[in-house]
Amino acid sequence: MDLNSLPTEVILTHPRQTLGSVCLDWTPQPGHYLNWNGQTYTVLERRHRYQLKSGRYRLHKISLYVQSVERPEDKTLIDGHWVIGDASCQFNAHSELMRCAVNPSGPCNTCRFYEPI
């Protein structure tokens, strides 16, 4: 079965509600952004749902748990994945979900705590 043909349920984590279902042409990982009805969400978790048919478990659908965010403009590519903020700063978390501990909302270019690695 083609993974891209499976229905994907999009669930908002807070407040907990289902936003709807869609068949995506890509496989979103935690940290990726998803545009849905004009709003941007970040994927926090992906769960696979299986169904027992004829004595075998088959992938039935995928659930994406998302959180509403504003897409950050300052991203850096490190070792093949995107991180939020300026990765040359000592305090950068090197994460797709969080910028840093001292200035998590950013922006990095005017941060008074910036220290190069």
Helix or strand or coil: residue 24? coil
9-23, 24-38, 46-60, 74-88: the lowest-pLDDT one: 74-88
Provide the residue count of the chain.
117
- Encode pLDDT of 48-78 as tens digits: 999 999 999 998 899 999 999 877 677 777 7
Evaluate if pTM is beyond 0.75.
no
**Domain boundaries of the chain, sorted by first residue:** 3-68, 72-117
d(Cα 17, Cα 56) in Å, to the nearest integer?
31
Burial of 78-103, coded b for 16+ CB within 10 Å and e otherwise, reads eeeeebbbbbebebbbeebeebbeeb
